[in-house]
Amino acid sequence: MARYEGVSASVIRRLPRYHRFLYDLIQKGVHRISSRELAELMSLTASQIRQDLNCFGGFGQQGYGYNVDALYEEIGNILGINQGRKIILLGAGNLGMALVKHLSFESKGFKLVGIFDKNPKLIGQKIHGIEIMPESALEEFCTKVKPDAAILCLPKDVVEELGDRLISYGIRAFWNFSHYDLGLRHRDSGVPIAVENVHLGDSLMTLCYQVNELDEN
């Protein structure tokens, strides 16, 4: 049974945004905020914020608002970012290396434990102290280290087969940049998996539409 049964995916997807805004408030020395003030910052409504947080029990006090530090910690707990899940990266090209160099994995709930690539020119190089290993070492590594998740920065045509292999190695979660949408279940065995299919091009085309809309007004 899910930890928060019945909570919609849209609410879950807003939680990281709450977490980010609360972090910024803490950095500015703000330790108390009302739902109205938080709503103004986030371009939401106070009612929406109260409804979202009430899905997890609610954290405010009438007449006081929210304790920013406590709410930040509670949302982090809901997201599970303090559990230190292990993640590996497949594909040490430009995108993969940009993620490794510029993203704080540990503050987002993951510890990067392995990097893999097929390019022999990259094998043996180290990025942030992690040595790039050949794809042939994947099975042995997964058996030994037992990573929870994988980042896929790979060509579209190899992802389905490789995804099946990774699932057979015990990996159940994927952050997928490959332009191939992995399914929610392993196609043969019905093993449940978690997938975030990330399409940067889709986001850019959405911006293009919005720019065109500006020209119409």
Q: What is the chain's pLDDT, residue by residue, as a tens digit (217 residues)?
A: 356 678 898 999 999 999 999 999 999 999 999 999 999 999 999 999 999 999 998 787 776 789 999 999 999 999 999 999 999 999 999 999 999 999 999 999 999 999 999 999 999 999 989 999 999 999 999 999 999 999 999 999 999 889 989 999 999 999 999 988 887 565 555 778 899 999 999 999 999 999 998 877 6
pLDDT at 183: 78
Instruction: Record the tokens describing residue 58, joined without a space.
Output: 């609610």
* 90 neighbors 116 (Cβ within 8 angstroms): yes
CB contact at 8 A, 11 and 52: yes
Q: Where are the domains of the chain?
A: 9-77, 85-202
pLDDT at residue 85, as a whole number:
96
What fold is seen in the domain 9-77? Arc Repressor Mutant, subunit A (1.10.10)
**What CATH number belongs to 85-202?**
3.40.50.720
Could you give the maximum distance between any two Cα atoms of the chain, in Å? 62
110, 86 in Cβ contact below 8 A?
yes
Residue 195 dihedral angles phi and psi, to the nearest 5°: -135, 135
How many Å apart are CA 135 and CA 202, to the nearest integer?
29
Measure the N-to-C terminal CA separation of the chain; round to a whole number of Å: 49
Assessment of whether the complete model's pTM goes beyond 0.85: yes
